Structure 1
Amino acid sequence: MKKKTLAFILTLCMTVTGVICFAAGAAAAGGLQEIKAFLNADITLKLDGEAQVLKDANGVRTYPITYNDTTYLPVRSIAGLLGVDVGWDQATQSVLLGKQPSGIDLIDTYKAYYFSRDVGQIQSVEKKTEDISGVSYDHWIWVYFNGPTDRSVSFNIQGKHDTLTFSYYADCDTTLTVLGDNDTVLGEFSITGAKVAQTVTIPLFKTNELKFHMVRTGNGNNLRIFDAYLDAEQ
């Protein structure tokens, strides 16, 4: 059976231990809140036209829940039907869907030695957060275009790495070029403003210098680079 994206939005989060937790409006930001909801065994879930039985990690049948006229589905069960990996990060109280980044975190491991005007680096030790393309992050590279249209930031990664995987998002059309030693082009990307964040992987060829050079080509002001992971040192 082919795995297709379900034609509805899942609005419930569920811990991987099988304990259901609800985001009840704005109160979710304050932690767990007791509510009154109903297990709804009358609802049938179909995937590619075939009825499905939802089960938890122990194989026990689970059911949709109805709360305030909205139907919520258990994330682990849905992820299993779609063949999507699911995990739970206790430290950040986060449900993890899909393949998770691995390797050495560029932004938290290396401090940039050069920033052009209106460019900065936020590391997780600073305990700040920002919503980027609908997801909250605690470390990222920020770029603000105000005046001149080109910006850059440079790292020395000591010739230890072969690949870099990172995501980017901008609210303006931008050309993003990644450069290595002697300004060798490692990757170049044309970004369309306000589109969904993109993830790319580029070869590094054991470069020492790693430079992100951004040129704005349309209206808008902001670009973010995040989820940047280097392969483990060889």
Structure 2
Amino acid sequence: MKKRWMISTMVAALMLTAGTGVYAGAKLQEVKAYLNSSIQLKYNGTPVQPRDEKGNAVLPLTYNGTTYLPVRAVADIVGVAVSYNPETSTVELGEKAEGVAIAKGFENMYYTKDPKETTYQGKDYKEAYFDNASGKRSSNFMLYPKGKYQKLVLQVAAVGEDIDNFAIEDSEKNVKLTTEKVAVSDGLKTIEVDITGVNELYIYADVLNNGAMFVPLTTSYYK
């Protein structure tokens, strides 16, 4: 609740840091503002330094008696995903109203569009990750949310044999976000994890000799 309050009260006075290409055709008004190094920020009582996407320190701006803070830097500090939609000139904070399917840009040797492999329990998901190789093995793939989203909603099914160890990991920080058991009897299991600020995800499972792992890519999504 505290995060939501902070963001909602700041939005009116925040500026999005973006490349010059973002501003093509935008309605801009030139003003005279000042970088204000005297302003210090604290979050939950702890001093913090706003930084841009490259890790460089950024300063607040003061204009006409009002101080403006860089929205991306503040969102990173309070743990809220932020992105910019150039088509609608919209800054998007927190969860997106509509999910973005992980199918976009997905690459893996077990990626398939074959209806024989994308169909699970009578429904064709059109695109899927389906590892039906032989032998006891680690089944894995990468996802690249690039810090743009708040949550990952992933669907997964165990086929033939239960999957005792299914995990989602922040690959940059080498931190497990969740570890699950996926049973055949679960059907298509939905797993939701917080991915705020996460750039790369490593998804892996221990699959038994007679088992397979099915992940529908069109109904698994970022928010």
| TM-score normalized with structure 2 length | 0.48
| TM-score normalized with structure 1 length | 0.46
